[in-house]
Each structure stands twice: as C-alpha cells, then as structure tokens.
Structure 1
Amino acid sequence: MLRMFTTINGQVEQISAPENGSWLSLADPTDVELATVAQETGVDLADLRAPLDDEERSRVDVEEDYTMIIVDIPTVEQRSGRDWYETIPLSIIITQNMIITVCMQDTPVLHPFMEGTIRGFNTFMRSRFILQILYRNATMYLRYLRIIDRETDKLELRLRHAMQNQEIIMLMELSKTLVYFTTSLKSNEIVMEKLMTLSRIKQYPEDEDLLEDVITENKQAIEMANIYSGVLSNMTDAFGSIVSNNLNNVMRIFTIISITLSIPTLIFSMYGMNFQDGMQGMPLSDSRWGFIVIIAISLVLSAIVTWFLTRSRLFK
C-alpha cells in the first residue's frame, strides 16, 4: 500500500502525487508500487526492498543522493487466538526533497503521524520526523513490555495452580520475545548514535530535547527488557525446580507402594508353591486357619513397613 502525505498549514493531508517535502509511506508494497517509487525518487529498488526481509539488520547506509536508516520496530502477531510480539524492520529513506518509509506491515508506529496527532510533526522537517519516529518506536516498545509484564504475572498465577505444557510453551515464547526486543533495542541505539553524527541531515536547535527524550526512552526500554528477561529466566528456573520436586514426590510415593507390596508378594509366592501331601516345614500349611493367619501377618508387616518408610528420613 502506497500512501503520500504532506503538511499544509500545520495539518497532515493525504496527497495523490509526490511533491517536495512530502512523505511517502509504503506498507506491504507491491512490486509495481516499489518500481514506481524507485523511478520517481531515484532510490535504488534493492534498498526499497531491504526492509521487506524480516531478518534485515538495523543500520545506516549513506548513498550519493539519499540516506537509508533501518530500525527494528515491535509488532503484534495473532497466533492461536493470542497476541505474540516480535520485531520487524522499518526503513526510513531521506532524499533531497522527501522522506520515504518502507515496512512489510501497516505498522501502528506510523499511524499517529498519518492521523496528524503528533504534536510538532511536519513532513518538511526531516530530521525531526526521524526523531519523532524513533521516539514513537521506543514508546511502543515500552507499551508492549508492560503488556508482557502483565501477561507474565497472569502466567505465574496459572502455573501455581496447574502446570501444563501450554503454560510452559507460553513462558518460552515470552522469553524469546524479550530476547528479540533487547537485541533490537540495542541495535536501534547504535543506529541513533551514528545517525546523530551525520552532517547530511539538518539538525534543528529545538530538537535537542527530543533527542534526549529518544535516548532516555530507548535506554529505559532496554533496562525494562533486561529486567523482565531476568524475571522470566528466574521464573523458568523456579518452575523447573518445582517440576523436579513434584517428580521426586511422585517417585517417593511409588517407591513406598512398591516396597510395601513386595512383602505380601514374597510371602504369597512362597506359599503358592505346589507341595506334596504331608510335606513339612512350611508353617501353618496344614492348619485350617493358616490362610487367614498368613494374610493377617502380611497386612501387619506391610503396615509396619509403610509406617517406617513414611517416617524415614530417606523418603522425606
């Protein structure tokens, strides 16, 4: 989808043809749209396609007629009726006359700019536009991290009551998401450091506070991602220990049952042999009440062994 915007009298308006100072937004573009933008702006088609690869790394490329900035942005993916978070590349291309953004999805990071709800946004002020996108991107990371933190708390309560494979898989997915977020945020930080040293992009004095806010928000997002990642890692270890402890308790019970049942099994196996008539040596074998007495003795011995094992320190 190709959409073009420009600022007219402080208001963001959508236009039908590119012009000086306009913003071209490409979201999940077709080959025709990419070719059209490449022809009208002079941007290499390969650079326009670069952010469409979800494995593309964050970087800054300085070409002869334009500068391309690629950063990782957070996104939400629906899987099995749940929201899962990951990162995708967003390209910001600055030419002499306009600015171009390319992404494989219609990302909510750019929606406020299209709706004109960002204070001080102007398509002509390209360096400020870049900082505003980066600031918006950092706040989106913080928002999703808070959502992940709440999901972690809910998952912890569920794991305390019932530990199923589904909950463990969710725990692994959240841990993987935080790893992706941390890696992407650190890559974006490097991009910002390099971006601010480029003399090609005009700097405005009033953007200094915005730059500080961008750096602060990005660092805060990195710290939050590290903290939540550590919490999830400790939670995983703790529940792993719980699973191991529960398994030990189950094996303890089965061991006690196995030892207890081995006593009557041993006794009955000896008395179950085929003896010749008149054979001596087996107690109570010729008694009328021998069978009942043997059962009683077996039950008493089993009870004594069970009592001893349940109080033994080896099975605590």
Structure 2
Amino acid sequence: MHGLAKLFIYLCSALGLVNYHNLERKNVISVIEEKAGNINMLQIFKSIDAGMTILDQIENGAWINLVNPSEREISYVSETLSIPVDHIKAALDEEERARIEVDGDCTVVLIDTPVPSTNVQEGGIYYTVPLGIIITDKNIVTVSLLENHVINEFIERKIKSFFTFKKTRFFLQILYKNSKLYLQYLRNIDKASGLIETRLHKSLRNKELIQLLELEKSLVYFSTSLKSNEMVLEKIQRSNPIKMYPEDAELLDDVIIENKQAIEMANIYSNILSGTMDAYASVISNNLNIVMKFLTSATIVLSIPTMTASFFGMNVDVPFKNNPHAFAIIFIISMFFSVILAITMAKKEMF
C-alpha cells in the first residue's frame, strides 16, 4: 500500500496537481508506516506564547522528535541541522550504552528509558531502550526507536512550564521525567509481585514463579540502566558540557536524587523478589518431597498384600489350600500386617 501511495503522488506531481517535493518535506512527516508493527514518525514542535504548535518545517527554537525514523527523515534532520547521521542513528541501536558526547556545537546525550511490554498486565516484563537527546545552538532533537511515555508527556502537554526554546531546561525536564517514570514502574512491579505472591499462597504453580522471574528480569534491566544513567548525570554535573543557569543546576540535583532513589528501590525490590522466589521454590520442592514420601510409604504398605498373593499363587503346596475360607484368612492376615506397618510408619512420621 505504501508503494502504491508513492506511485500515486508521483503521478499527481507529473500532472502538476501537487508538488511532490513539498510533500516530501512536509512535517509532521508523520508518515506512519506500519512495517512489522513499527512506526516511522518525525514531528516538529515549537513553543509560541503560552502554548505549543506543530510546524511544517524546522525553525530556530523548535523541538524535533523522531520515532524510529526512516532514512529520508534522518537525512532531512541531519542536513537541516548539520548533525552527523551517526549521532541520530546511535539512539536506534537497542544495545547502545548511555553516554554523553560533545561534538563541536552539538551535544549528544544517550540515556536509557523504561518501556513496558505489551502483556505487562499478564506478568510481562519491563525493559529499557535508548533515548537520544541532541542539543544544537538553536534546536533540540529527541530520537527513540519506540514511542515512550517520557516524550509523550511533553507532546500531550502534561508537563507544565516547558518551552522548546529553553533547551537546557527542557533537556533536564526530560531527564527528571525519565527518573520519575522509573520510580512509577518500580512501584508497579512491587504491586504486581504482591498480587502474584497472593496467588502463590492459594496455588503453588510454576506459572506464578515464571511471572516472578519476569519481574526480576525487569529489575535487572532497570538496575543496569539506572546505573548507566547515573554515570551520565554525574558527568554532566562534573564537566558542565551544557550551559546552565542556577535554577537548572538545582533541577539537575533533583534529577540525580530521583535517579539514586530509583537505584535504591530497584536494588531493594530485587533482593526481596529474589528471596521470595527462593522461598517459594523451596516450598514447592518441599511439597513435592512430601508427595513422594507419601507415595513411597503407601507403596511399601501395599506391597505386603501383593507379596502374600504372590506366595500363595505359587504352584507348590501352601497352607489353607483345602480350607474353604482360605481367601478370607489370607486376606485378613495380609491386611493385619499392612495395618501394623502403616501404624508404625505413621508414628515415625513416614507418612
């Protein structure tokens, strides 16, 4: 469908009905391509008066947001703002580590941001993806592989007192919101683990343990990413790669405090969850041992009637062979010894 749409635009352009090049550079090039569920999107925003507007082209003081951008969108932003393509593509690598880099008039900051999986309500995991923030003389650019809650908060104007032309302030507000989001998801993980533990009290199954394992993996991802983000924040505070005003320095301190709190919470929840999993794994193993112990004892008790029947089934002379009540006598004798054995084993807590 996307190819047919392009062909239609080319034909209209050839007939003079539309200007193809204007369409190519049209922003919000929210050309949304549903390729394997991925969204390609470029948006340009600018604070004007008390609000924020969407622009058709990049201007000074504008914020450019890229989500899984296409090569065309990357080239457009790179050429317009003189940003090396590698800086934009760095945030699209899921394995890229958090870091800060100054390249001439361009400052590139990569942080890890939390993202919930699609089935998180069913015990799915949270994971982290890189979020790139590129600050130039006149603009700020955000790049991510997936849509994330941090950027959406700004797009939906839920964050008060933010302006696209106040680049440093905006940048620190993104970092602050990112740290807050970690704390929010950590609380969600704690609540989810509590619900799973409640179900474990009622029914000890592997399903609940697997869900706890998924949550523990989430905490590992969070701990690793938060520590990487902490290194970036400390470097920003130490080297001042971005011009800051006194109120900006205070906001940076708040970001560092929130990030440290998230690290501590992740470590605490991880230790609790690990201990809980070990405890429930031991309980399940103990229950299995109890069942095996009971079955073994029952097998031993039932072996007496089996052995008795085997002896009297031999083709040799045996007692009571001419007795009309032989079956009843043999049955009573075997059951008597079985009961005696069962009582003895029960007293020794072998059942």
Query: Is TM (by shorter chain) over 0.5?
Result: yes
2:6 maps to what in 1?
none
For residue 196 of structure 1, report the CA deviation from its aligned partner.
Answer: 2.2
Q: Hey, what's the Cα distance between the residues in 1 that align with 2:256 and 2:120?
A: 36
| Paired positions, count | 310
Q: Hey, what's the Cα distance between the residues in 2 that align with 1:26 and 1:15?
A: 14
For residue 80 of structure 1, report the CA deviation from its aligned partner.
Answer: 8.7
Q: Residue type matched to 1:33 in 2? A: E
Q: Hey, what's the Cα distance between the residues in 1 that align with 2:325 and 2:158?
A: 95
Partner of residue 115 from structure 2, selected from 75, 82, 100: 75
Q: Deviations over 1:255-281 (max 9, x none)?
A: 111110111111111110012xxx4xx
Q: Residue type matched to 1:171 in 2? A: L
Answer yes or no: is the 8 Å Cα contact 1:60–1:70 preserved in 2: yes
Q: Hey, what's the Cα distance between the residues in 1 that align with 2:163 and 2:134?
A: 16
Q: Does 1:301 align with 2:341?
A: no
Q: Residue type matched to 2:320 in 1? A: L
For residue 81 of structure 1, report the CA deviation from its aligned partner.
Answer: 7.0
Q: Hey, what's the Cα distance between the residues in 1 that align with 2:117 and 2:308?
A: 64
Answer yes or no: is the 8 Å Cα contact 2:102–2:241 preserved in 1: no
2:89 maps to what in 1?
49
Q: Deviations over 1:220-264 (max 9, x none)?
A: 111111111111101110111101110111011111111101111
Q: CA RMSD in A?
A: 1.6
Q: Hey, what's the Cα distance between the residues in 2 that align with 1:116 and 1:156?
A: 38
Q: Residue type matched to 1:212 in 2? A: D
Partner of residue 126 from structure 2, selected from 72, 85, 91: 85
SS in 1 for 2:47: strand
2:163 maps to what in 1?
122
Q: How does 1:208-247 map to 2 (within 5 A)?
A: 208-247=249-288
Q: Hey, what's the Cα distance between the residues in 2 that align with 1:200 and 1:109?
A: 23
Q: Residue type matched to 1:27 in 2? A: V
Answer yes or no: is the 8 Å Cα contact 1:52–1:104 preserved in 2: yes
Q: Deviations over 1:266-303 (max 9, x none)?
A: 1111110012xxx4xx3323322222111100011111
Answer yes or no: is the 8 Å Cα contact 1:135–1:217 preserved in 2: yes
* Higher relative contact order (Cα pairs below 8 Å, separated by 6+ residues): 1
Answer yes or no: is the 8 Å Cα contact 1:73–1:89 preserved in 2: yes
Partner of residue 249 from structure 1, selected from 284, 290, 315: 290
Q: Does 1:15 align with 2:51?
A: no
Answer yes or no: is the 8 Å Cα contact 2:88–2:143 preserved in 1: yes
Answer yes or no: is the 8 Å Cα contact 2:60–2:139 preserved in 1: yes
1:292 maps to what in 2?
328
Answer yes or no: is the 8 Å Cα contact 2:237–2:252 preserved in 1: no
Q: Hey, what's the Cα distance between the residues in 1 that align with 2:170 and 2:234?
A: 16
Q: Does 1:31 align with 2:71?
A: yes
For residue 43 of structure 1, report the CA deviation from its aligned partner.
Answer: 1.1
Provide the identity percentage.
44
Q: Residue type matched to 2:257 in 1? A: T
Q: Which moved more, 1:61-70 or 1:182-191?
A: 61-70
Q: Which runs of 5+ in 2 are unaligned?
A: 1-40
Q: Hey, what's the Cα distance between the residues in 2 that align with 1:249 and 1:152?
A: 27
Answer yes or no: is the 8 Å Cα contact 1:90–1:101 preserved in 2: yes
Q: Residue type matched to 1:264 in 2? A: P
Q: Residue type matched to 1:288 in 2? A: P
Q: Which moved more, 1:9-18 or 1:236-245?
A: 9-18
Q: Residue type matched to 1:207 in 2? A: D
Partner of residue 149 from structure 1, selected from 167, 190, 199: 190
SS in 2 for 1:110: helix
For residue 5 of structure 1, report the CA deviation from its aligned partner.
Answer: 1.2
Q: Residue type matched to 1:111 in 2? A: N
Q: Hey, what's the Cα distance between the residues in 1 that align with 2:312 and 2:125?
A: 65
Q: Would the alpha carbon gap of residues 42 and 191 (structure 1) be closer, same or farther in structure 2, given more than 3 Å must change?
A: same
Q: Residue type matched to 2:82 in 1? A: G
SS in 2 for 1:33: helix
Answer yes or no: is the 8 Å Cα contact 1:3–1:26 preserved in 2: yes
Give the alignment's TM-score, normalised by structure 2: 0.85
Q: Which runs of 5+ in 1 are unaligned?
A: none
Give the alignment's TM-score, normalised by structure 1: 0.94
